[in-house]
Amino acid sequence: MAQVKRIRRNVSGIILLDKPLGFTSNAALQKVRWLLNAEKAGHTGSLDPLATGVLPLCFGEATKFSQYLLDSDKGYETLAQLGKTTTTADAEGEVLQERPVTVGRAEIEAVLPQFRGQINQIPPMYSALKRDGQPLYKLARAGEVVEREPRSVTIARLELLAFEGDTARLAVECSKGTYIRTLVEDIGEQLGCGAYVAELRRTQAGPFTLAQTVTLEELEAAHAEGGNEALDRFLMPADSGLQDWPLLKFSEHSAFYWLNGQPVRAPDAPKFGMVRVQDHNGRFIGIGEVSEDGRIAPRRLIRSE
């Protein structure tokens, strides 16, 4: 008997998931997509299975704007285990070296300023970055180590929240592309005892915080009670991640031409940069970029909801 193909729903918006421990970002996405029965879905940057916390999941039209959340700043709390290094720089790897921990709070506080501001990081071998089409983590599992170019990242905040015995809890606010595992590992080397990430929780992604998230258990409970559509109440608007962008409202005439790919003028437009655009009814219809001649060029459009 032929299996009946599941007809997925055309739903749009963002669900802010508190990613559970042990899930890859893609596994979490696919689970929520199944619960929502959504046709199109994508996440906005991977969290390791060890990590928990803020993971924006984009559905339908919201996937058009996921790149801007990928590029946004992030916030984390991490527990650094001092005195050991591992193959993966976190608790999932094999221990490489053990050294005595002879430092205290004062020594940790003294090295942190070196890692604030703009710094260079060498991406870890256990990462999703690719070399000749192969993810680095696959090469690492095969025992290969390849040279990686340092990358410039910005650490806006690095604070010691707690220190007890051989563990240090740190708060980090950083730019995209920052590896917390590498940051902790480098701090450990500076302290002379080594360190790895024992716990990692993302507390912020762009404008989104933990307070706005929903757990997988809450989504499963809603689904059990009311089916796919019961999850719709957790969907935030497609432009939720762009709330700090300038907002323009077009007339019906301007919106018509703009949605057909033509740049238009707006009297209240900024002199440059990206903008959110609504039509005369207040419906989000896409994002645009202010060109040199002052017109708003369409970049990503939503023609209907």
Catalytic sites, residue numbers: 48
What token pair was written down for 56?
């924006």
Per DSSP, helices labelled H in the chain are 25-36, 66-70, 105-111, 136-141, 180-191, 216-226, 252-259
Closest by alpha carbon to 264, among 293, 296, 300? 296
β-strand partners of 75: 173, 204
Return phi, psi of residue 5, to 5°: -70, 135
| Distance (Å, whole) CA 76 – CA 155 | 11
Residues 299 and 286 sit within 8 Å (Cβ to Cβ): yes
Distances (CA, A) of 207 to 68, 72, 287: 11, 8, 17
Buried b / exposed e over 119-155, threshold 16 CB at 10 Å, is bebebbbbbebeeeeeebeebbeeeeeeeeeeeebeb
